[in-house]
Amino acid sequence: MRSSTASGVWSTSPQSFREFVATGAISDRGLSQLIKKSGWTSDELRSGFTRAYRVRLEAVNAFLGSEAGVLWLRNQTRSYTPFASLRQHAPQALRSAILADATDGSISAAGIMAALPTDFRLTRGYDDLDGVQNVCAIARCEDPRQCTSLLSWFYFLPACIQANASIGLVDQGFEVLNRR
């Protein structure tokens, strides 16, 4: 993860972030900046990142492969780019991380983040990338920063996936009933 301030860009290693989630230890300035900009307390972030959401892999796969799911992935990654390949593969990278985390029947923000096949970064000022984080649970934000931070995007991501995959199951049930 990276955080930009007026005085520089701070990178946080995956190990530092895993340590923070596991123990609460904040071992570098980049992570400290990300937490301060998030609008969450450290404890809230740790709890949110480790919260497991039960999902069915088939339902998650069906949602992410649907027209609505593909559009959702594009929207969620519109300002996020894998470091080397830039924007072209961001939706596929996010999709693969979500599915990899869902194989055991649950997903979490920390699990999705750990499964990302490449580093993600927020890009602003390059082509049409505006740096906007598309937090999908705006109504749940209690602080304006919670709707605009990178950590909030990850924080809300598994709940949004669970909800969208569940809606897909309901839609499939209605289709079955309508065919009878």
Return the residue matching tokens 């890009």.
123
DSSP SS3 for 69: helix
Return the residue matching tokens 């998030």.
38
Q: Which residues pair with 122 in a beta bridge?
A: 80
What is the pTM for the complete model shown? 0.83
Q: Give the CA distances from residue 115 to residues 15, 93, 99, in Å, rounded to whole numbers and listed in that order.
A: 13, 9, 9
Task: Give the pLDDT of residue 153.
Answer: 85
* Chain segment 61-119, per-residue pLDDT in tens: 999 999 999 998 988 887 776 655 556 778 898 999 999 999 999 999 999 999 988 77
Instruction: Determine how many CB atoms are found less than 10 A away from the CB of residue 138.
Output: 12
Return the residue matching tokens 């990850």.
154
Give the tokens for residue 115: 């499964």
Task: Give the pLDDT of residue 174.
Answer: 45
Average pLDDT for 27-49? 91
**Does 121 or 159 have the greater pLDDT score?**
159
